Amino acid sequence: MAHPSQLGLQDAASPVMEELIHFHDHALMIVFLISTLVLYIIVAMVSTKFTNKFILDSQEIEIVWTILPAVILIMIALPSLRILYLMDEINDPHLTVKAVGHQWYWSYEYSDYEALSFDSYMIPTQDLSPGQFRLLETDYRMVVPMESPIRVLITADDVIHSWAVPALGIKMDAVPGRLNQASFITARPGMFYGQCSEICGANHSFMPIVVEAVPLQHFESWSSSMLEKA
């Protein structure tokens, strides 16, 4: 969960998000080095001491500043492609959940159970309990077992939505008539908050997402109680 005046990314709750944070730091360091080099060259060129024929007309320098950007792009592209393939991998998921976006709430269907489905609405501000987050709490949470591969099938019923949970490193569009999929593994128990990241209408900011990761035995107890209600 983000905190006031936070500058960096949220704490990672999945292996993919950990990789994304490492890649962010890696790319940021490259940008910092490029900015420093460019600033040094500008200062050197302004100075009459370094403004000479060797700097202004040099085949060697032209070769360097042609090859160097290509090397930098490779250094950024390789880890980026690796993470893209990791995000697309879905190896024998233990649980499949279908998330359907509506104006303006989410509904969840647990495909491995016959009658386990529910709608998830935002809790109005006046109904919040002490300690709950405004515009982020829902009446029913998407409960998943921790340390288990989870597959989420994402679609929409009316307009384009986007199912996004920053701590899990997931942001997937929910498109009517199309079934997108994403996968994640929660590395620790807890509640992870997200929101629809697509401008889907007047109440776009009032359809939050809450993913609650619990130990397997607690998930089994929760699923049993939900099936009894159904």
Q: Return the CATH number at 67.
A: 1.10.287.90
| pLDDT in the model for residue 64 | 82
With a threshold of 0.85, does the pTM exceed it? no
| pLDDT in the model for residue 42 | 79
Spatial distance between the Cα atoms of 210 and 190, rounded to a whole number of angstroms:
10
Asked if residue 55 and residue 120 are part of one domain, the reply reads: no
| Among 88, 106, 139, residue at a domain's last position | 88
Domain of 49? 15-88
Mean pLDDT, the chain cut into blocks of 10 residues (230 residues total): 77 91 93 91 71 62 85 92 86 92 94 90 93 92 94 94 94 94 93 93 91 95 88
Split into its structural domains, the chain has a count of 2
Cis ω for the linkage preceding 104 (within 30 of 0): yes
| Among 88, 116, 136, residue at a domain's last position | 88
- Domain-embedded: residue 187: yes
Task: Centre a 10 Å sphere on the Cβ of residue 2 and count the other Cβ atoms it contains.
Answer: 12
Q: Is 66 exposed, middle or buried (0-12, 13-18, 19+ CB in 10 A)?
A: exposed
